[in-house]
């Protein structure tokens, strides 16, 4: 059983454009790489328009999920091992967190992305 939200297809070029825009607004556009764990920590507590305030749930012992987003309340759920590995720079774990962050940022394209100069 899948709990993924169905989203409108966006061409690769559009996703890349949206990602670059988000990187600019988050203050990390000029970095080749950055600590996504530290960046996400700066976003926790920020308000994402009508989606509300972002919360973070680090969980253990759920072999079916590595990370996901829920929207009532707005929460990023991340497996503890993925979180820790991403903080150490593991590429796959960083990708997983970036993917979920993309869900947060692209869920409602009409709301502003929180701005931050804290890149981690």
Query: Predicted confidence band at 3 (pLDDT cuts at 50, 70, 90)?
Result: low
Predicted pLDDT of residue 1: 33
Q: Do the domain assignments include residue 111? A: no
pLDDT, one tens digit per residue, over 9-56 is 778 898 888 888 888 888 888 888 889 999 999 999 999 888 899 999
Predicted pLDDT of residue 22: 82
Per-residue b or e along 84-95, where b marks 16 or more CB atoms closer than 10 Å to that residue's CB: ebbbeeeeebbe
Cα separation, 77 vs 16, in Å, equals: 24
Q: What CATH number corresponds to the domain at position 93? A: 3.30.2010
Q: Is 101 exposed, middle or buried (0-12, 13-18, 19+ CB in 10 A)?
A: buried
Q: Do the domain assignments include residue 119? A: no
Q: Do the domain assignments include residue 1? A: no
pLDDT, one tens digit per residue, over 76-117 is 999 999 999 999 999 999 999 999 988 887 765 444 445 554
Q: Do the domain assignments include residue 115? A: no
Cα separation, 25 vs 101, in Å, equals: 13
| Averaged pLDDT score across all residues of the chain | 83
Q: Look up the domain containing 67 and give its range.
A: 12-106
Q: Do the domain assignments include residue 85? A: yes
Give the pair of three-digit tokens for residue 4: 């993924």
Domain count, the chain: 1
Q: Do the domain assignments include residue 78? A: yes
């Amino acid at each position: 059983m899948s709990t993924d939200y169905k989203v409108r297809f966006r061409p690769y070029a559009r996703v890349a454009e949206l990602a670059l825009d988000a990187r600019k607004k988050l203050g990390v556009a000029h970095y080749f790489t950055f600590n996504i764990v530290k960046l996400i920590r700066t976003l926790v507590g920020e308000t994402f328009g009508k989606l509300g305030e972002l919360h973070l749930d680090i969980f253990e012992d759920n072999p079916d999920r590595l990370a996901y987003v829920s929207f009532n309340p707005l929460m990023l759920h991340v497996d503890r091992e993925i979180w820790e590995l991403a903080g150490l720079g593991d590429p796959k774990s960083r990708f997983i967190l970036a993917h979920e962050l993309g869900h947060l940022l692209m869920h409602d394209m009409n709301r502003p992305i929180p701005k931050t100069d804290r890149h981690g």
